[in-house]
Amino acid sequence: MAVSWLARLAACAPVPVFPALGMRGEEALYRLALSPEIKLVDSPRHASLLLVAGGVPPSMQQALRRVHDQFPAPFTTLWYRSTPLVELPRAAVTTVDSLDALPGALVESHGSLLRNTVGHSPRLLPDAPPHPWQGLGDDGHGGEGMMGGVPYGRPMAMPPTEDLRDGLALDVLTFRLGPFFPLWPPGLEAEVILQGDIIQQFSVQSSPFPRALAPVFHEAREQSVAIAALERARARHHLQALFHALHLAGLEGLARDALRLADRCPSGDIALLAKWFKTFERRMKRRGFFALHLPERGALRQEQAERLGGFAARAAGIDRDARTEDDGYRRLAFATITQQAGDTRARWRQRLAEIAQAFDLAARAQRDDMRTAQTDAVETPRGAWRDSRPGGTSPLLEDLLPGLEWGEALASLASLELAALSPWPREERAETQMGGAA
Amino acid sequence: MILDQLVWPLALVLAALVLGPYLLAVLDGLVARGLGLTRGPGLWLAPLRRGAWWLIQHTNVTEAPDGRAWRLAPALYLALAAGGLALVPWSRAWVATDIATSLVLWGSIEALATVVIFLQGWSANTHLTLVGAYRYVALGLSYILVSMFVLIGVALPAESLALTQVIISQQELWNVLRQPLGLPLFLIVGLAITFRGPFNLADSTDLAGGTSADVSGAQRLVWEFARSAMLVAFSGIATAAFLGGWLGPWLPGPLWVAFKMLAVLALLAWLGPAFARLTPEHCVSLMWVVLLPLAFVDLIWAGVEALS
C-alpha cells in the first residue's frame, strides 16, 4: 500500500530520461528539452528511461548494451526511430516513430513502469569485470611494485608523468567515453588520458555520426532557393548548437531560450526574432557565458581552421564564405564577418554574429523575395559545400584538446562542428511542425 | 529547564533540518519556473515527487567501489549540516549547542565537508566522480579561508567566539551594516561549499553530475538533501553572524531567525542559476586574488571599528 502510494507520487515527477542519440536523433533531444514533463539527464544512473533516438550501427550495439546495463532498476527503454536490441523482451520495449507522440510516450512508459504494468528491462551483459582479474605482482594488481599493470584490463592510475599545466603532477587516469556520452557529439568515442582534470591525451576511436542539415541546404545545391529560408535555417542550426554550450555552462534557462528561438526560426516574424535574439545575446553576456571561455583555449592553428572551414575558419580570421560568390547575396551587400583569435570564445562570438547577420539578411531578402543565383557552392553551417560535402574532422581533437582542463575541453568541443555532413537532409516534416509551433 | 535547554532547541534544529531543505527545493522550483524550465501546478509537491522517485529507484553499484565509504559519505555530509544547524541560536536561551567556541566548531564543519565531498567522489571508483572530487579539494581550502576571516571579523566586536555573544553584540547595529563586506563574502562561500550555481564545480554538468554522477536511489536522495541542509545551516550561521539572529521587534526570536534564514535562502536560490559556472581557474583566481584580500579588508575594517 505504502509502495503504491509512493509510486503514484513518483509517477507525477518529471520523467528522468537519458538520451542515447544514434544517427539523426538530435531532433528528439531538442523537442524533449522543451517538454516540461521530461527531465533530460546526463548520466544513466539518474534516469529511469533509456531513450534511444535514431539508428545505432551494429558496431555500437555493444556500447549501447553497456549504457543500458548502467541504469539502476527499475527502468525501461523507448526507441525513437530505432530498432530495439533483439535480446530485449517485448514488454520492456516501446517504439515510437512520431516526434509529436514522443513526450507523451515517455510519460506513459514511466507511469506504467512505476505502476508495474510494463516489464523492467533486464540486464544484458554479465555483471563481471570486462577482463579477468590478473592477480600478478607484489600487490595483486597485475603490475610490479605499487604501480603499473592492467588489473581488469584497464591501466591503473599511473605514477606522475610530466604535467602540462603547472608542474604539479597528479595520477594519470585512462578511460574511454562515448559513443553515447551526452555532453559531446553523438557517435564520438574517445580514449581519454587525464592528469587530475587536465587532458593529457585524447584518442578518437570513432567519429561523430554525420550531421543532417535542413532540406533547404540540399535544395540550394540543386536549384535556386529563397535566401530568407536559407538564412533562417542557418540561424536555427547555430541556436541549437548554442543549447549544448549553455547547458554545459549551467545556464539551463538560457539553453531553453536558445531552443525556443530556434523553434521560431523557420516561420516566425523576422523583425521579432532579431529583437528577441538581441535580448538573448545581452543576457548571455551578462550571465558570464563568455567569461567561462578563457582566451586562447581551444585555439585552432591556421591549417586546422582551413581544414574545418565555415564559421570556425572565419573565427580564426580566414575571410572565406561561399556566399560571397553568389549574385543573390551580392545584391544584399553581403559581407563576411570574421574574428581573429580562433579560440572557443571567438567561435561563439562568430556564431552569434552570424545568427544576427542571418536574421538581417533574411529580413532584407524576404522583403524583395531574393533567391540564390548559383548552385555550385553553398555555405552550410558546417562549411562550404562545393564538389563534395564537408567531411568529418574529429581527428583534430587529438591535437586540440591535450592541455585543456576537462570543462574547457568540452566547451571547445561544443563550439566546433566536427561531424561530416549527412548525404540526407533532416526531415521536412519536423521543420513545418516547428514552424507551426512558433 | 529541560524544555528550554534541550527539547525546544532540539525540536527547532530538527524542524529546520527537515523543513529547510524542503523549502529550499520549493524556492529552487520557483526560480526554475521563472526561467521557464518548469510550469504547471505542483510547486509544493514537486520536491516530494522527486524524493519519492529517488526512494523507488534502486541504489546502484559501480565496479569495485569503496562500498562503505561511498554509502557513508552522504550521511556524513548530512551529519555535518545537522551539526552546523545545532550551532544556530534561536533565542537567548534556545541554543542546541551553546558552546564558547561555536565559530571554531563551524570552521571545522567547513573543513570536514571537504573530506566528505572528496570521499563521495573518490570512493565510487569512476572517472567523472573522481574529477569532481579533485576539483573540490583543489578549491576547498580557499573557501574555508575566506569564511574564517569574515567570521573572525564578527567575533571581534563580540569579543567572543560564541554565536550567542555575536548576536548580543549586534543589538545596536547588525553586522551586515557594521561590516558590509562580511555577509556577501560569507554567502559566496555558502554557494561554494554546497557547490551551487556558478560555484558548482564538483557536481557540474560538464562532469554529468560530478561526485554524484554514479549515485542513484536513496543514496542520491540523502546526498541532495544533505547539500540543501548544508545551505540551510549556512543561512542559519549567516543569520546569527550578520543579521542579528533573534533580534527584532514584535515577533518571538525563533520566528525572526526563521524569517531571516528564509530570506537568505531565497537570495541564494535566486543567485545560484543567474550566472554561468566558473572554470576552476577562474574560481581559484577569484578566491585567492579577489575574495581573500577582500576578507582581509573586512577583518581590518572590523578591527578598526572594534578599537574605535
Q: Is A171 on the interface with B (CB under 8 A)?
A: no
State the pLDDT at residue A108: 93
Of A14, A72, A181, the CB nearest to B60: A72
Examine the domain organization and report whether A292 and A315 are in the same domain.
Answer: yes
- The cell for A74 is 527499475
B217/A250 Cβ within 8 A: no
Q: Is A159 on the interface with B (CB under 8 A)?
A: no
Q: Is residue A120 part of a domain?
A: no
Q: Is A45 on the interface with B (CB under 8 A)?
A: yes
Q: Is A1 on the interface with B (CB under 8 A)?
A: no
A250/B198 Cβ within 8 A: yes
Q: What is the DSSP string of B181-200?
A: THHHHHHHHHHHHTT-GGG-
Q: Is A253 on the interface with B (CB under 8 A)?
A: yes
Chain B residue with the nearest C-alpha to that of A44: B214
Rounded CA-CA distance B39/B47 in Å is 14
A291/B276 Cβ within 8 A: yes
Under 8 Å between Cβ of A24 and A55: yes
What percent helix, strand, coil does chain B show, rounded to 5? 75, 0, 25
State the pLDDT at residue A438: 31
Residues paired with A147 in a beta bridge: A144
Helix H or strand E segment including A383: strand A383-385
Which amino acid would we find at residue B130?
Answer: L
Which residue matches cell numbers 527539547?
Answer: B7
Examine the domain organization and report whether A96 and A186 are in the same domain.
Answer: no
DSSP class of residue B263? H
Helix H or strand E segment including B164: helix B163-168
Examine the domain organization and report whether A403 and A272 are in the same domain.
Answer: yes
Other CB atoms within a 10 A radius of the CB of residue A7 amount to 19
User: Domain boundary residue among A206, A236, A270?
Assistant: A206
What percent helix, strand, coil does chain A show, rounded to 5? 40, 15, 45
Q: At how many degrees (to 10) do helices A252-264 and B8-34 cross? A: 20
Indicate the burial class of B307 (C-beta count within 10 angstroms; 0-12, 13-18, 19 or more). exposed
A287/B275 Cβ within 8 A: yes
Examine the domain organization and report whether A145 and A172 are in the same domain.
Answer: no
Q: Is residue A121 part of a domain?
A: no
Q: If DSSP states are collapsed to H, E and C, what string results for A149-164?
A: CCHHHCCCCECCCCCC
Helix H or strand E segment including A77: strand A76-80
- Partner B, chain A 101-120, Cβ-Cβ below 8 Å: 114
Q: Is residue A422 part of a domain?
A: yes
Helix H or strand E segment including A381: none
Q: Is residue A123 part of a domain?
A: no
Examine the domain organization and report whether A401 and A330 are in the same domain.
Answer: yes
pTM (predicted TM-score): 0.93
Examine the domain organization and report whether A179 and A110 are in the same domain.
Answer: no
A129/B63 Cβ within 8 A: yes
Examine the domain organization and report whether A220 and A97 are in the same domain.
Answer: no
Other CB atoms within a 10 A radius of the CB of residue A333 amount to 8
Q: Is residue A38 part of a domain?
A: yes
State the pLDDT at residue A430: 45
CB pairs under 8 A between A and B: 149
Examine the domain organization and report whether A371 and A324 are in the same domain.
Answer: yes
- Interface probe for B, chosen from A3, A37, A45, A120 (most Cβ of B below 10 Å), is A45
Q: What SS3 state is found at B167?
A: helix
Q: Is residue A80 part of a domain?
A: yes
Rounded CA-CA distance B35/A251 in Å is 10
Which residue matches cell numbers 519556473?
Answer: B33
What percentage of chain A has pLDDT greater than the value 70? 87
Examine the domain organization and report whether A361 and A260 are in the same domain.
Answer: yes
pLDDT beneath 50: ranges in chain A: 1, 430-438
B206/A406 Cβ within 8 A: yes
Which residue matches cell numbers 505502476?
Answer: A115
Q: Is A36 on the interface with B (CB under 8 A)?
A: yes
A92: containing domain: 2-114
Tens-level pLDDT at each residue, chain B (308 residues)? 788 778 888 999 999 999 999 999 999 999 988 887 777 678 899 999 999 999 999 998 888 888 899 999 999 999 999 999 999 999 988 888 889 999 999 999 999 999 999 999 999 989 999 999 999 999 999 999 999 999 999 999 999 999 999 999 999 899 999 999 999 999 999 999 999 999 999 999 999 999 999 999 999 999 999 999 999 999 999 999 999 999 989 989 899 999 999 999 999 999 988 899 999 989 999 999 999 999 999 999 999 988 87
Examine the domain organization and report whether A84 and A153 are in the same domain.
Answer: no
Chain B residue with the nearest C-alpha to that of A49: B57
Backbone angles phi, psi at A141, to 5 degrees: -105, 0
User: A20: domain CATH number?
Assistant: 3.40.50.12280
Indicate the burial class of A108 (C-beta count within 10 angstroms; 0-12, 13-18, 19 or more). middle
Helix H or strand E segment including A193: strand A189-195
